[in-house]
Every structure is written in structure tokens, then in C-alpha cells.
Amino acid sequence: MTTKSQKSTRRQFVATLAGASAALALPAMPARAQKGKELVFAGFGGAYQDGQTKAFFEPFEKQTGIRIVGTTGVELARLKAQVASRNVEWDLISLPDRLRYTAQADGLLEKLDYSRFSVADLLPETVSDYCCGSVTFAAQLTYNSEVFSGQAAPVTWADVWNTDKFKGRRGMLSTVTYLMEFALLADGVPKNKLYPLDIDRAFKSLEKFKRSAIWWTQFPQVEQMLLSREIVMTPWTRGVSLQLAGRPIRVSYEGAAISYEGWVIPKGSQNYDAAMRFIDFATRPERQAELTKYIAYGPTNRKALPLINPSVAELLPSQPKNFNAGFLFSGDWWGPNLARVTERFNEWRLS
């Protein structure tokens, strides 16, 4: 039995570890952008930000003369500190929906001026007063297709939980977002009745894999685990990219968690007008179609899909058949509940 003292120690350990990780993830802030001539963009780095540079930033500078200075390390704690000190270094962020709710609730964002351009062609689920959808992405069932060659492949989360029919070790992501939803879908909850999440039921469902799954923490490590057959299936967000690259990896959109990132402007930005010009530019169909050449994220502008290579477009989350097969991840639910559920999850993993 776990004692009260042990629980307290574990909470302290989890809190200390989380704090240390967050501190290490925060890079130095860039110098403030020159007003009207530059925009400082805070992104997530890697191939995604490289693609944003090619599809958005460089063409925008060529057209307008406004240079975009890229940095990484999107942290709400840092944004909050900037806003509170009235020393806002960032002018533009592409913010995931799970963070958008908190940033908006904490008064960290400027209201967007949609009188400057039309959002009629954007997915309405991705547009709000403070956030304008930039891309869609999905966490979905991903599996090694060679393992299931000549036999039925897994399609649903119930299939993932069915270890008698679908043999092989599972991978599980060590984060509560998406995972709670998948555990509930596997337990029979209809996708249109997921929210508010029944967390007790989700943890009960996850008990099946508490000891047997490989609980991974870094998204890039999943590729090698799948290809080496260390695991045969897992929830993941990068399976489409590997499938397009010719790897023996396939995905199912049945019950996929579909979410989005949106362009936001930090409260107190000195370059609001230039940032709005950029958002107008970056949400145009040809710009969003261009991004898919570099990363397999879906457009939010519905007119972009016909401009994308059909073999790519059919695998993107904003393709209607894929969008309808999944469910829309709720940042509005996770925003106020993330910390509480994460603490419980960390306790559960250590118990």
C-alpha cells in the first residue's frame, strides 16, 4: 500500500522534475523586433519551423519587406512574464489549441481584427476571436504494416486494446492529452460523448497496459521502435510522414484526435499591424498548400486541399473523410484540467 508520505514524496519528485525540464527548455529571448520592419516569431523548431520558413516567412518578406526573426521555446510561463512586465519580445506564435485556451483565459493574447481579411474558407472550428487556424494535425493509431501483412490490420482503439486478436507489444505515449480519449474510445465511449472526460474510467481502461506497454516520451523515438518491431502499434502524430516517405508504416483515422495550431498575437506586441498582415498572408490557400511539401500537417483553408498533391492530400487530417472519422480534440476542456489530470497520471505511473 502507498502511504501518505510516499505520495507526498512522489508529488514533490514529479513537480521538481517538471520544473527542471521546463527551465532547460527555455532559450534566451531574442532582441525586440524593429517596429514595422520585423516580426519575432516563436515556434517549435525542427522540420516544422523549417517548413514554415520556406512556405510563409521567406515569401512574406519578399512580398512585404517585413523580415521574420524566428526563435523557439513556446512557453506560456515566458509569455506571461513578458506580458506582465510589458516587455513583449514575441510578435507572433503558432499556438496549439491545448495552450490557446489558457493563453486566452490569462489575458495573454490580442484580439484579432478579421475585418482585414475573410476567414470564410477556414475550418470554423479553428477560428476564434484570439486565434486563427494555421494547420491541423492528428494523433492516431499508427502501426507497422509488415507485422500485419496477410492478416487484418488494427483500425480502432478497441483493436489496440484487443491483444488476443492483434498480437505484439504496444507503445503508449507518456502524456495525458490524447491518451485519455483513446482509452475511453477503446472502452466503448462514443466519440461524440467524450467530453467532459470520465477520467476514472480512462485510468481503469489504461490498467491493461500499465505494466506491459512501452511508455515513450520523445516523439522521434517511435519510428525506430516501430521499424524494429519493438512495438507493433502506438498512438502517434508522425505516421503519415513516414508512410509518405515509403516506410512500412500505416495509420488509421478512426477515432483519431484531430487538433490544430492557430496564429496568435501576444498582448502588447508592438507590431500588431504587421502581424495581422502576416496572418492574412499565411492563411491563403496557396501558402497553406505549400507547407504540405515540407510537413504532413493539414491546411485549415478548405480551398488549399485541391492545390495539394492528391497522394498527400488524402492522408491529411483536414481531408473531410479523415476529419469526420476522428474527433476534434477539446482545448477548452483540457485548458482548465491539464494540470490536475497530469498530476494524477504521474502518480498512477509511479504507483
Note the pLDDT tens digit of each residue in 51-99: 999 999 999 999 999 999 999 999 999 999 999 999 999 999 999 998 9
Hey, what amino acid is at 149? Answer: S
Cα dihedral value 90, 53, 131, 317, nearest 10: -150
DSSP-assigned letters across all residues of 170-203: BEEESSSTTHHHHHHHHTT--GGG-PSP-HHHHH
Helix (H) or strand (E) holding 254: strand 249-264
pLDDT digits (tens, 9 = 90+) for 98-112: 899 999 999 999 999
Going by C-alpha positions, the residue among 336, 160, 333 that lies closest to residue 236 is 160
Cell of 346: 504521474
Measured CA to CA, the distance from residue 2 to residue 6 in angstroms comes to: 6
Domains, the chain, ordered by start: 23-137+260-324 (3.40.190.10), 138-258+334-350 (3.40.190.10)
pLDDT of residue 220: 85
pTM: 0.86
Convert the pLDDT of each residue in 306-350 to its tens digit: 999 999 999 999 999 999 999 999 999 999 999 999 999 999 999
Q: Is the dihedral of CA 187, 193, 197, 198 positive or negative?
A: negative
Q: How far apart are CA 144 and CA 150, in angstroms?
A: 13
Q: Which residues lie across from 136 on neighbouring strands?
A: 260, 298
